[in-house]
Amino acid sequence: MERKIVIIKSIEFINHDVLEIRTKKPDGYSFKPGQATEIAINKEGWKDEKRPFTFTNLPTETDLQFTIKVYPDNDGVTEQLSKLKKGDELTIGEIFGAIHYKGKGTFVAGGAGVTPFISIFKSLEDENDLLGNALIFANKTKKDIFLKETFERYLGRKFVNVLSEEDTTEYPNGRIDKEFLNNTITDWSQFFYVCGPPKMTESVTDALKDLGVSEDKLVIEDYS
């Protein structure tokens, strides 16, 4: 598939390090909730620096939306994205992604790993089918949680936050390990959707298997 140029319609920070970019959607370009594409900045020196980002809007919308965590100390792409403005150009390519909705379940996300779930939840809200789903969202500190009000609106008490580097009275402190999962979940026959840093995804997946979750109930995506 030939890469397509898209123009930024709006760009803003929705958290201290999370960027929301909206562009026009090319004609005939379609995706399923949970899928992603490779984005590059259409400027000299950056055109070949492609990185995977998930669509975070509904496929039926006329725009595309991406919710992107900015890492200033990494390879520079997300930092460069954060400097763009309305009217700047990006390029997008093939659509891919292993995460898609199979049925009611618990979604487990680490940081930016929550992004494939955003479009899924929007789609379920659109279909009035959110009941029976839950989200466990792991972040380092309270200020790293993003779209908190949105997830609370979608899931109510089924939205659970875990902080690994901050101890507060509001949220559990620690990691999503076997003990945490065992104390939080009672139904091991539901679907489990897992997305986060590779080490976290692997450890959560192993813990779920140890707790009796079958392979066909695991929907997994690594991001790096």
Q: What is the CATH number of the domain that holds 8?
A: 2.40.30.10
Distance (Å, whole) CA 14 – CA 213 = 35
Q: Which residue has the higher pLDDT, 76 or 178?
A: 178
Domain that holds residue 69: 4-96
What pLDDT is stored for residue 222 in this prediction?
58
What pLDDT is stored for residue 74 in this prediction?
64
pTM for the structure as a whole:
0.94
Total domain count, the chain: 2
Distance (Å, whole) CA 54 – CA 139 = 19
Contact between 66 and 95 under an 8 Å Cβ cutoff? The reply is no
Same domain, 67 and 111: no
Same domain, 14 and 110: no
Distance (Å, whole) CA 71 – CA 53 = 14
- The SS3 of residue 221 is strand
Q: Is pLDDT above 50 for 152?
A: yes
Q: Which of these three, 68, 96, 124, is where a domain ends? A: 96
Same domain, 118 and 216: yes
